[in-house]
Structure 1
Amino acid sequence: MEEIKNLIYAGKVDDAIQQLNAYIQEHPESDEAYYLLGNAWRKKGDNRQALNNYLEAIHRNPDSPAKNAYDMLMDILDFYYKEMYNQ
């Protein structure tokens, strides 16, 4: 998992997503893999995929750090879309 985290931080998001999808095939109950996959999609700019993967992580482990990431991203999106309507 450390190698995948490093890929995400280095901006090699597509490689990280590919490796995480393969990892999830072998370890479907890994909440950490779904959390990292959410982070990768968020870094790529796909908030919907990020939120979906955070929810998968939370489903597997309600105490996952994905809960904070999900809440934070929802707050950002709520703020952004409210601002769009107030222009």
Structure 2
Amino acid sequence: MEHSTENCWAREENEEKAGEWIDGMAEKAEEAGVEIHGAYVCPNEHTFYFVLEADSFEGVSTFLGPPLLTDHDAHIAPVVSFGEAERAVR
């Protein structure tokens, strides 16, 4: 997920929103049926990276929903393990 400098959560006017989302991240993930395997930020590039596990795209969208998907452009790529891919083609 990438945001503009204007939407940066490190800006004073966005700190409260950012803090609330970060503090509630684990609870929101649980409610959405999402397991967080990793959550990373590259401050210099205004980019967040998440490694998530979910049974549905809807769960991921709910977890990332406002305010993240409101303030960020996102590329969400569902992936499967090599084993799962191999089983699918056999």
TM-score by length of 2: 0.30
Structure with bigger strand share is: 2
Larger Cα-atom Rg: 2
Structure with bigger helix share is: 1
